[in-house]
Structure 1
Amino acid sequence: MLQLLLASENLLFSVALLLMLLIGLLELIAVLFGSSFSSSLESLLPEVEIAPHTEVGQLDADSALSRFFGWLRIGEVPLLMLLVLMLLSFGLLGLILQSLLLSMLGFMAPAWLATPVVLFASLPMVRFSGGILHRLMPRDETTAVTSDSLLGRIAIITLGTARQSYAAEARVKDQHGYQHYIQVEPDNPEECFVQGTEVLLLTRQGAVYKAIKNANPHLSEAE
């Protein structure tokens, strides 16, 4: 088993599993000290801004990227959990594939070939396991606040570009200070919101919130 883990063909898969264990250890240590590694990691992530004169082609690319991240359950499940799921799926699938090849054919696939194949195969597993976690996780937004209670609050676009019929991910805090990740579209069809834009939530249609750009400098996400 050790030879399989340390083989050059499996180095990336072994490192992925090692990183997964390291993240779990850091989260455990953070919890023992009354903190959260996942929250600290999220606070360190920079807000990526897109220039206001972004062209239509770039908007389409941003929307496609936003839909892909939504497919991966980003916004439904904490990012750190999805990272752990990705590392676990990538590492286990890679080792299982190489072990099967070794036992059936007598050799393992080179890393340059196995890595992209396993990475692609890991994505559906991340989506599936992320969906299970999403159903099992306790939801502050359903027990502490209602979806409509977020109306009138300031949100920040965090992923993608919001425009008519193309929602983007936004972060909003409820009255208790808990963060929620929601889908936002501009209320005005002629507007678009790039990453980093502060918006005021006006109405909700299903899971999508309609918003306008925050024009009041005295209002902020913390309000």
Structure 2
Amino acid sequence: MTVIELFLAPENIAFSVALGLVIAIGVLEGIGAVVGFALSGLLDSIFPEADIDLDAGDVGDSGAFGEFLSWLRFREVPVIVIMIAFLTAFGLTGIVFQGVLAAILGSTVNGFVASISSLLICLPVVRFFAGVLAKIMPKDETSAVKTDSFVGHSAKVVLGTMGRGNPAQIKLADQFGQDHYFMAEPDMDDASFNQGDDVIIVRKEQALFYVIANTKEFMTDD
């Protein structure tokens, strides 16, 4: 079995897709750097839904899923790093596993069996990698900031036209100077905002922020 045949085999599609997604993420990040859209910042604002207080070891109210994300060291390093590490480890582990079996036995195993085996191997690898990275990254890049603390801060609409029921992306900087990207809607039913408009975050409901127009007398950022 050639390398191409190995990647295109039906039982290996999950691994090929995972590696393809790594390439796609790299392309999107490159395009985002040009047009002002940050996929990594948006992912950081979504996962995990409940803010994790790393110093206290608290995983909020997100239950088992939150505990799993905490175990994978979400919020200790950027979410995009965890995602790329997982997809790469999962894809490579599965392809290598299937390739070794094909070379020794002359055939591969069922895709579901191979995927479960790869998950069991790659998850501890991802956790170990994230732990090492968290120790060597600058402190201001790994400090977890509770997103509820952004209420009252000014932000800028960076992508899309915002209306009630039609969220757009906003950007703001935390106290460490790190940019964060969130989806937001106007707090008022009849309000709308365009790309480049300055707004004030007035409340948050789950992963969505609600904003009002930012005027000079309401500026809150230093």
Q: Which TM-score band applies after superposition, normalised by the shorter structure?
A: 0.5 to 0.7
Residue 139 of structure 1 and its aligned partner are, at CA, apart by 2.8
Alignment root-mean-square deviation, CA? 3.9
TM alignment of 1:78-157, pairs within 5 A: 78-140=78-140, 154=149
TM alignment of 1:1-223, pairs within 5 A: 1-43=3-45, 62-140=62-140, 154=149, 174-175=174-175, 178=178, 196=206
Residue 123 of structure 1 and its aligned partner are, at CA, apart by 0.6
Q: Give the Cα–Cα distance (whole angstroms) in 2 for the partners of residues 137 and 46 of structure 1.
A: 20
* 5+ long unaligned stretches in structure 2: 51-58, 152-172, 181-204, 208-219
Task: Count residues in correspondence.
Answer: 155
1:154 partner SS: helix
1:114 partner SS: helix
Q: In structure 2, give the amino acid aligned to 1:137.
A: M
2:89 partner SS: helix
| 1:139-158 alpha-carbon deviations (Å, 9 max, x no partner) | 3268xx9x9xx8xx9379xx
Give me the identity figure in percent: 37
Residue 61 of structure 1 and its aligned partner are, at CA, apart by 8.7
Residue 26 of structure 1 and its aligned partner are, at CA, apart by 0.7
Residue 37 of structure 1 and its aligned partner are, at CA, apart by 2.0
* TM, length-normalised to structure 2: 0.57
| 1:9-43 alpha-carbon deviations (Å, 9 max, x no partner) | 11110011001110011111212334422113445
Name 2:189's counterpart in structure 1. none
* TM, length-normalised to structure 1: 0.56
Q: In structure 1, give the amino acid aligned to 2:22.
A: M
Q: Which moved more, 1:38-47 or 1:103-112?
A: 38-47
* 5+ long unaligned stretches in structure 1: 49-58, 157-172, 181-194, 198-220
Name 1:56's counterpart in structure 2. none
- Contact 2:101–2:108, Cα closer than 8 Å, also in 1: yes
Alpha-carbon distance change, 61 to 113 in structure 1, aligned in 2, over 3 angstroms: farther
